[in-house]
Amino acid sequence: RTALAPRETAARRKGKSRRGRGKARSEGLLSKQKRSRRMKANDRERNRMHHLNSALDALRSVLPTFPDDAKLTKIETLRFAHNYIWALTQSLRLA
């Protein structure tokens, strides 16, 4: 590798060199790419929430609740499950 002249080094530090970047992208293309990425991220998040809600529904179905028609919230479901598992563990220890 050869030593760069001071002028070339300063130009590279200022970002005037475009090594490895190729052509600049147009604003329209960037906008479409951002929109596409956002839509994909939204789809992933929607699927994640559907899976989470399905898992919570399955958990609610095995927890004993009174009355049966009351649907627990997400945090209530998790707290109830934690306390229920703790109570079952304690009853096994005492038995």
Q: What is the CATH number of the domain that holds 68?
A: 4.10.280
CB 84 within 8 A of CB 63: yes
Does residue 7 sit within a domain?
A: no
Supply the range of the domain harboring residue 33. Answer: 24-94
CB 60 within 8 A of CB 74: no
Q: How far apart are CA 10 and CA 70, in angstroms?
A: 70
| Residue type at 10 in one-letter notation | A
What domain count does the chain have? 1
Query: pLDDT tens digits for 32-70?
Result: 999 999 999 999 999 999 999 999 999 999 999 877 778
Does residue 72 sit within a domain?
A: yes
Task: For residue 12, name the pLDDT band (cuts at 50, 70, 90).
Answer: low
Say what percent of the chain tops pLDDT 90.
Answer: 58
Residue 22, pLDDT score: 56
Q: What is the pTM of this model?
A: 0.64
Residue 32, pLDDT score: 92
CB 20 within 8 A of CB 14: no
User: Position of tokens 């990425």?
Assistant: 37
Does residue 1 sit within a domain?
A: no
What is the mean pLDDT of the segment spanning 13-23? 57
